[in-house]
Amino acid sequence: MEETKQRWGLDPSGKWYWMPDVGGYRVYQVKSVLAARQTPYQKLEIMDIEGWGRCLFLDGDIQSAEVDEFIYHELLVHPGMLAHPAPRRVLICGTGEGKVVREILRYPSVSRVVAVDIDREVVELCQEYLGRTPLDDPRVELVFTDVARFLQDYRGEPFDVAIVDVTDDVVGPASTVHNLNFYQLLDQALASPGVVAVQGTSAFSGLRSAGFDHLYRLLCQVFPLVFPYAEYVPSFEDLWGFFVCLKGLPDLGPRGELPPGLKYYDAETHRRVFSLSKLLRNKLGIE
């Protein structure tokens, strides 16, 4: 047991999974391992976890849990989509399980989605084991490359909305994203009016290396208006941060109708998650 605590991953029995957390470890009871693979970029594990259902882990960090993934994905996508008056072209930076695509295609105005991910194996295995999402929709183009390189080379029609949903690390597959140059490139590929939504890592713990307050200050260097918000995600056991960045728009709106069928996000939830605590406002330097 003590040896297991020095690392993340399955213990020798295959019944417990250890994940580093603030001040120690979190432990999950494993019902079954569905997929475990070292891709060219990261270690992927998809497991059926007691109490959480099918879960995705990348390099030892939980990314998604069947029972509550809708909380994260609805909060990431819908505030930004509703801020735009007519989102037609959408860029996804980090396709992952494809749940962001699912949420974006709820909007009838969307005619084109470009979903970029560096790791083809992650996308394909998630489709196999975590449930099919509409990646085969004719409006969706899948691109497998580093999204920073994609933006460096992009010369097409500007995007109305971009969703940045990459992992938190600054040394792994997302190392080219958490920096000023990436967001300057993204701004160049963005129409005006335009919206960028960003997963903002843990709002409290400091364990997540990208840093909620660091990302906020970085985004403020590029976009005229940046709105931080946060919500507790049960499977993360953490208060999770998000950002909506606006270009050529005066406020968050909303400028459209909320799509039907959402499980979590509505107008009341919107008001609450954008009302940050004094502690978080102080952390971000917001009066």
- Binding-site annotation, residues for S-methyl-5'-thioadenosine: 42, 117, 146-147, 173
Calpha distance 217→285 (Å, rounded): 9
Contact 64, 97 (CB under 8 A): yes
Helix (H, G, I), strand (E, B) or coil at 157: coil
Calpha distance 177→201 (Å, rounded): 13
Binding-site residues from annotation:
42, 73, 97, 117, 146-147, 173
DSSP 83: H
DSSP 235: G
From the candidates 59, 160, 165, 168, give the one annotated as an active-site residue: 165
Calpha distance 108→2 (Å, rounded): 53
Indicate if 11 belongs to the active site: no
Binding-site residues from annotation for spermidine:
73, 97
Provide the Cα torsion 218, 224, 226, 227; round to 10°: 170
Beta strands in 39-97 (DSSP E): 43-49, 53-58, 61-65, 89-93
Q: Which residues are catalytic?
A: 165
